[in-house]
Structure 1
Amino acid sequence: MLHLLNHSVLNHKEKPSTGNLRILFLGDSITADGRYISLVREGLSRHRSELAVELLACGVPSETVSGLSEAAHPFPRPCVHDRLAGELAAASPDVAVACYGMNDGIYHPFSEARFAAYQSGMKRLSTLIREAGAAAVLLTPPPFHAASMDGPLQPAEAADFSYLAPYRDYDRVLERYADWLISGGCPADGVIDIRTPLLEHIRHERLLHASYRYGDGIHPDLSGHRIMAQVLLRELFRQDPDGLREQPCS
């Protein structure tokens, strides 16, 4: 997998004069929450303090990469492509890490048209990041955990769907999106699978505690953010992340 310490993905861009490696994080409300980014920062500070790394958190709640929005959403969902050029120009990152997909299926059953919009948006995102001189690192969509939802879960034949009343098997939609990324369908410098470790975490926790809730089913709880941080520390920095397991988020 991609390791930034090898600097192989940065060969197309000179290091900034400050010597800092600037990493821009793009995504929806899971990224806007910021806890997994804070935990990565904490892990680097504790275990790799010699590294000059700047983490720039730029997630936007409700955002998509596809430009889609469900009818019941209180406002049209923002699309990253409406701000991407400005974010890249302002940050001048060496690496951009992007996590999209949760909102892009708009909580409906699978549709080829919605899938095509997600694919097109991710390809454009990756291409524009690379054209800006940064390495594009894509994260698979996190899982949707129906058993943690408080609201209604709807069958495929329901009249409509939204984040408040999602398709009950919506995670199968996200699985297809993740499989496409992992298969190399998008021109990126690296793809990191966060979905599989999160699913394993959920299964483990529910075996230990049947009442365990993965946040609200859409947004991970702190333990989910910790898993995401562990994966990023390992895949990007070759850092053994075990020290994060019992540490609070700063």
Structure 2
Amino acid sequence: MAMIRREDMLPLNINTIIDSVTKKTANLKIMFLGDSITADGLYIRLIREWLKQHRPDLAVELIPCGVPSETASSLSEAAHPFPRPCIHERLARELAAASPGVAVACYGMNDGIYHPLSEERFAAYQAGMQQLSTQIREAGAAVVLMTPPPFDAPSMNGRLQPADAADFSYLAPYKDYDKVLECYAGWLLSGECPADGIIDLRIPLLEHIRQERSLNASYSYGDGIHPDTAGHGVIARTLLRNLFDAEPDTLPGAEESGEAARGKAD
């Protein structure tokens, strides 16, 4: 499976994964690892519904494994109500229990712990992601990494702080925290972290935010950290295009995203 590069954004070919995985099993298991954005599960439900409708012939099991507040770096801000969990505390158990053919992972939003960029925190993120990829591969699964979604300061209800503030947290983040996430995303897209594929969520979500705000200046992208229903729709469409080579006219729109969100509420 080719590495997705920023300059050409070549789609991943799911058939390449299937060919390798089906040599071992008749079913393709895709595990989704991540923080509260993944734990919400909406983008995974949208993908599942698309597969039922458009690829009923494909034996695919989607396994949601997101955990709120989680990091890949083992870092936690002082003001967080409890030490943030780290994927490395549970990864071996999750891989053993699920035996996935593919693991899709999205970390970074919490890894900068809402502070300005620092080499120490960045290095912890890099080391955590490299360890994550290595461990997944050693378990026999393909690795697909997603860039962290953007932080949208205008949607944030909490207190945004300057770089020289005494401390930062998810409730009082650095006002330019998105620049930190841009740096983390750029590193993933550079190919320095071993993976079978990289999917850029950042650019499609930024384009979505810009478009919505051009139509409605008061548009709120969730709480600035967690995407709203429309944002999850963007994530689902991005994954469907990259993983399953989905045709544009088959992708779920705003109506389908809303129905999936209401299904969660029920």
TM-score, L = length of structure 1: 0.96
Return the alpha-carbon distance in structure 1 between the equivalents of residues 82 and 52 of structure 2: 39
Q: Which of 70, 77, 81 is the matching residue for 1:70?
A: 77
Partner SS, residue 7 of structure 1 = helix
Q: CA deviation at 1:44?
A: 1.1
Taking the aligned partners of 1:206 and 1:77, their CA distance within structure 2 comes to 32
Counterpart of 1:198 in structure 2 is 205
Q: Distance in 1 between matches of 2:56 and 2:214?
A: 36
Q: What is the CA deviation profile of residues 200-227 of structure 1, one whole-angstrom value per residue up to 9, with x for unaligned ones?
A: 0000000011111000000000000000
2:106 to 99, 109, 112: 99
- The one-letter code of the counterpart of 1:212 is Y
**Residue in 1 that maps onto 2:135:** 128
Greater Cα shift, 233-242 or 94-103? 233-242
Q: Is 1:162 matched with 2:165?
A: no
Task: Please tell me the residue identity of whatever aligns with 2:171.
Answer: L
Alpha-carbon distance in structure 2 between the residues aligned to 1:227 and 1:162: 27
Superposed, 1:1-250 pairs within 5 Å as 1-7=11-17, 11=20, 13-17=21-25, 19-242=26-249, 243-245=251-253, 246-247=255-256, 248-249=259-260, 250=263
Instruction: State the 1:7 CA deviation.
Output: 2.8
Q: Please give the per-residue CA displacement for 1:132-154, whole angstroms capped at 9, x wherever unaligned.
A: 00000000000000000011000
Structure 1 131/14 Cα, relative in aligned 2: closer, same or farther at 3 Å? Answer: farther
Q: Percent identity?
A: 69
Consecutive unaligned residues of structure 2, counting only runs of 5 or more, are: 1-10
Deviation >6 Å, runs of 4+: none
Deviation at 1:6, TM superposition (A): 2.7
SS of residue matched to 2:43: helix
**Contact map agreement 1:4 1:237 (CA 8 A) in 2:** yes
1:48-68 CA-to-partner distances (Å, cap 9, x unmatched) read: 111111000010000000000
Shifted more, 91-100 versus 43-52: the winner is 43-52
How far residue 111 of structure 1 moved from its aligned partner, in angstroms, is 0.3
- For residues 208 and 94 of structure 1, what CA distance do their matches in structure 2 show? 41
Q: Report the RMSD for the aligned CA atoms in angstroms.
A: 1.2
User: Matches of 1:143 and 1:150 in 2, distance apart?
Assistant: 16
Counterpart of 2:252 in structure 1: which amino acid? Answer: L
Spell out, residue by residue over 1:29-58, the C-alpha distance to the aligned partner (whole angstroms, 9 max, x if none): 000000000011111111111111100001
Structure 1, 75-84 or 239-248: larger mean CA deviation: 239-248
Structure 1: segments with no counterpart, 5+ residues: none
Amino acid at match of 2:97: A
Question: Per-residue deviation at 1:197?
Answer: 0.1
How many residue pairs get aligned? The number is 247
Residues 241, 81 of structure 1: CA spacing in aligned structure 2 closer, same or farther, 3 A cutoff?
A: farther
Q: Judge conservation of contact 1:43–1:241 (CA < 8 Å) in 2.
A: no
